[in-house]
Chains A and B, each alone.
Chain A
Amino acid sequence: MRMGLKINGDDYAREVEPDLTLLSFLRDVLGLTGTKWGCLTGDCGACTVLVEGKPIVSCLQLACQVQGREVTTIEGLETSGGLDEVQAAFVSNGATQCGFCTPGMVMSVEALLRTNPAPDEAEIREALAGNLCRCTGYSKIVDAVLQAAAERHSSTGGSAADVS
């Protein structure tokens, strides 16, 4: 079947099989390999992308289900050639080790900060409970999210209440 959608701001139209997952569409059809697969059962969260700003595990979503919608992947986060606040905070806090969970983890953080710009530690841990990391023990990831939230917050000059 023919389907069209927007990925990272660009329009794509492709012929796809009805049973093709969004994950395979991104990786195998479009070559966007930044989105990882770790289980194909929705347990690890390494394939997390945003659909209309909401995090989903792309291994459990059919490509044809996102027809006409807007998808953001890890490749869509860089702003003017640099890292965005979340990515930069992951680097400076040591929140990535092997890095395999990182793209999915970063996407979940992006989604969290869109709905809750100033999360506390418990809220961060809850929001990331669907993204497994085997390397870090999570604390440095939590630190990175706290820092990214603070920086994004100060750069927009607003308060949590303004945005939420």
Chain B
Amino acid sequence: MPAVRASELQVVGRRIPKLDAPEKVTGQIAYADDLRMSGLLEGAILRSPHPHARILSIDVAAAERLPGVRAVIHAGNVQQGRFGYGNDNAPLKGDKVRFIGDEVAAVAAVDEEVAKRAIELIHVEYEVLPAVFDPYEALEDSSPSIHDELPDVSGNVSMRWDFDHGDVDAAADRAAVIVEGRYSAPQAAPAPIETHVVIASFTPSGHLTVWSPVHMVFMYRKALADVLGLDWRKITVIQPPVGGSFGGKIDIDTHDFIAVMLAKQARRPVRLAMSREEEFVGTRTRQPIHFRLRTGADAEGNLLFRDAEVVSDNGAYNAWGSHAMLVAMNTITSMYRVPNSRIRCAVVYTNKNYGGSVRGFGNPQATFAVEQQMEELADALGMDPMDLRLRNANQSGDVTPQGMEITSCGLSQCLDIVREQSGWDRRRGKMRDRHRGLGAAAYIHVGGGARIYGSDGCGAIVKVDESGQVTLISGSSELGQGSETALAMIVAEEMGVPIEAVHVVNSNTDIKPWDVGVHASRTTFVAGNAARMAAAAARDKILETAAELLDARASDLRIREGVVEVAEEPDRQIDFGRAVRRRLLREEGSVVMATAFYDPPTHHQDKEYRGNISAAYGFGAHVAEVEVDPGTGMVRLLNLWTAHDVGRAINPMSCEGQIEGGAAMGVGLALSEELVMFDGLIAAPNLHDYGLPTAVDVPRTVVNLVETVDPLGPFGAKGVGEGGIIPPPAAIANAIADATGIRPREYPMRPWKVKHWIDSEERSHVVAGKDSSGHG
């Protein structure tokens, strides 16, 4: 579609409050746990207390006898298949348990108290097996084998992600400077304020309805059918409003299957609500990733190579977390222009809660390594790190070693903005006497979908009814991020109607057309293009009928505020409702409804991880300013300046909300969030000890929206959902290095760690060339 100048836009670009905000501020909106239905039973799950054990027997007789119990299920009395990448998982475990929290049995009862009592009455006999928690130990021959039932898995390696481009060894020989180091990211959690809640109900004729805050609803429906042996034509998935996900609720999880099996056995609707402890222990996390990275450059500061050995500690089973390397790899090969790269990555099983798809999906972890090394390299070269970044910045027209085709690209502009606003040139490296420092980090992330399935598409239907009301039925979902409002704005803009005229329906698989789901910052781009196409087709039907009614040519008409008028004679006009009624209320009439399906022009990666998986890429840069207390190691984040290339801000207020919220999560990752474990046991599964940032922990973030007007995005927009979370751990680590001279090797950078680093004076490690930063 043609590019549109900002001055021509009526709706796009305005700060429009989220359409659902009034219902939310009054408490009217009903989340899954607010739904009330007759005969609803409460479910509960019995989880493994052992990190690794063989199940010898399960005795449920006492639980079944408890009054009020309607169903008790375990692997021995249900029909269930396997799921997960490599089919390594089952909803209820019959042979072995592989982490503390693994699902063994479940109960449905008349209320929560009875369900919990029944769980305590289930007796499981275990043979406790040796367990392994460290991924490097899991790789050793002597390690216990976690999935000994899978013939293709050896040495606990579930997947490999190896990549080669150019000749890294030859590039290393030519490099004037090489820096190397280890960088580790911890186990963290999406931790939405609403925990997972699912309700499953069968009609007497066997039709299943599931209410679940999942956001890949069509995949979810198929997985339910495949794993539980159900007919997917008899499954309706309804997504109630989602109380936050951040990837945690993206896809089907064990408790979803369990709720359905309980409902089937009990012949009553069943609700399964995760407690906060279960949310940490039993739902998906952001897995730890460990990097050993080398970066080399010539004397002028041109990057020559990156060489990475990566171990992704994915836990007991392969959910989405096994694929976080897909994104981490993009950053290692394609953040800045890097002519040669080599990655050797093993995804490793350990006896821990396993990884899912959490916002940023591998990118905060990889960026922590890559962007620290940019500043280490600059220091070793005696160059300003911003100059080094700008020298190597990705530009429009680049094709990266993985075949990512960079179209719109505002990276250099973003770097310039945060450099200027933070006073970088005046202040970096000059505040150590006050224990203050500045650090930067940039990112690249998919911003135009991410083709990981056969289709990366989304369907849309736009309907105009006889009152003139416009309804968008979108395949995509709202998670609270504001995509519903952005889509309504795109439709309003395309059709020439006010935003108030557009309703959005997007929560029921019986009604909405297919969509991959909400992930990879794709909704505004992909669902937005689909909505725009359907809106244009519906508008053309209106214009066709209006032309007939106004006795004019369609090309002579224009639409303003929902009224069609003859451009040269604005007095000759009709409204949308009149046009629809004209089509409808006559013999052989018709409705005004248009469908569209948008699938971005992208390619699946080949076996060597090459292919343009996204139709656009998002870029951004952050600068953090910190003050470090050398006595306690406490890091205070004083300022965070951000600039994000969003293509076009459909709704600037929502874009800021995504960036500010993402940045706050990134600050949490950097400074406080971690699932601390001892022998596989999450020590304190609560929000306080986990370290979720509060209003006093996050400073006011400066947000700059850079509009590069993407050629394929709807009105030029690109994805913005994940960018904010990616740079903060790296930017804050770099700021700590500037303030103290020590080089953080892992996050969260909690006070005792920083104190320890200061005391042991760990510094950047330069392995070749001149050494201006000093060995540690």
Residues of A within 8 A of B (CB): 27, 31, 33-41, 43-44, 46, 73-75, 77-78, 83, 87-88, 90-94, 96-103, 106, 121, 124-126, 128-142
Contacts and interface: CB of A to CB of B under 8 A. Distances in A.
B26 interface: yes
Nearest to B24: A99
Contact of A103 (B27, B653, B696): B27
B512 to A, nearest CB: 20
B95 interface: no
A140 B657 contact: yes
B195 interface: yes
B30 A33 contact: yes
Contact of B193 (A75, A88, A94, A134): A134
Interface size class of B (residues with CB under 8 A): 35 or more
A8 to B, nearest CB: 11
Interface of B: 15, 17-18, 20-31, 33-34, 36, 191-195, 241-246, 275-276, 479-482, 653-654, 656-657, 660-665, 686-688, 692, 694-696, 698, 700-701
A30 to B, nearest CB: 12
Contacts of A102: 24-25, 27
Contacts of A31: 36
A132 B687 contact: yes
> Of A75, A78, A136, A141, which is in contact with the most chain B CB atoms at under 10 Å from its CB?
A136
Given A33-B30, A34-B26, A91 B661 contact: no
A97 B661 contact: yes
A35 B663 CA distance: 28
A98 B242 contact: yes
A37 B663 CA distance: 25
A91 B654 contact: no
A90 B21 contact: yes
27 contacts: A33-B30, A38-B194, A44-B276, A44-B687, A75-B27, A77-B26, A83-B22, A90-B25, A91-B18, A92-B17, A94-B15, A94-B21, A97-B480, A97-B657, A100-B243, A102-B25, A125-B695, A128-B695, A129-B694, A129-B696, A132-B687, A133-B193, A136-B661, A137-B660, A137-B662, A138-B694, A142-B700
Contacts of B661: 97, 134-137
> Of A27, A90, A121, which is in contact with the most chain B CB atoms at under 10 Å from its CB?
A90
Contacts of B36: 31
B25 A96 contact: yes
B25 to A, nearest CB: 4
B166 to A, nearest CB: 40
Nearest to A136: B661
A56 B93 CA distance: 41
Contacts of B34: 27, 33
B480 A135 contact: yes
Nearest to B663: A137
B27 A44 contact: no
B696 A91 contact: no
A44 B28 contact: no
Given A135-B657, A136-B657, A74 B479 contact: no
A138 to B, nearest CB: 4
Nearest to B25: A87
Contacts of A140: 653, 656-657, 660
- Which 9 residue pairs across A and B have the least CB separation, nearest first? A34-B27, A98-B480, A99-B24, A100-B243, A137-B664, A137-B660, A74-B27, A33-B34, A87-B25
Contact of A99 (B29, B33, B654, B663): B29
Contacts of A130: 694
B70 to A, nearest CB: 19
A138 B244 CA distance: 15
Contacts of B665: 134, 137
B701 to A, nearest CB: 6
B31 A36 contact: yes
Given A97-B481, A98-B480, A100-B194, A39 B25 contact: no
A37 B194 CA distance: 8
B27 A33 contact: yes
A38 B18 contact: no
> Of A83, A102, A106, A134, which is in contact with the most chain B CB atoms at under 10 Å from its CB?
A134
Contacts of B656: 94, 140
Nearest to A86: B25
Contacts of B30: 33
B276 A40 contact: yes
Given A128-B694, A133-B695, A135-B480, 6 more contacts: A39-B687, A97-B244, A97-B481, A98-B481, A126-B696, A134-B192
Given A96-B18, A99-B241, A138-B698, A34 B28 contact: yes
A87 B26 contact: yes
B192 A100 contact: yes
Nearest to A90: B25
B670 to A, nearest CB: 13
Nearest to B30: A33
B713 to A, nearest CB: 21
A98 B194 contact: yes
A74 B26 contact: yes
Contacts of A125: 695-696
Contacts of B245: 98
B695 A100 contact: no
B17 A91 contact: yes
A98 B695 contact: no
> Of A75, A100, A130, A140, which is in contact with the most chain B CB atoms at under 10 Å from its CB?
A100
Contacts of B275: 40
Nearest to A98: B480
A28 B243 CA distance: 19
Contacts of A91: 17-18, 21-22, 25
A103 B28 CA distance: 10
Contacts of B21: 90-91, 94, 96, 99
Contacts of B22: 83, 87, 91
A78 B26 contact: yes
A99 B243 contact: yes
A137 B692 CA distance: 11
Nearest to B29: A99
Contacts of A83: 22, 25-26
Contacts of B692: 132, 134
A39 B280 CA distance: 11
B18 A97 contact: yes
B18 A94 contact: yes
A138 B193 CA distance: 14
Contacts of B479: 98
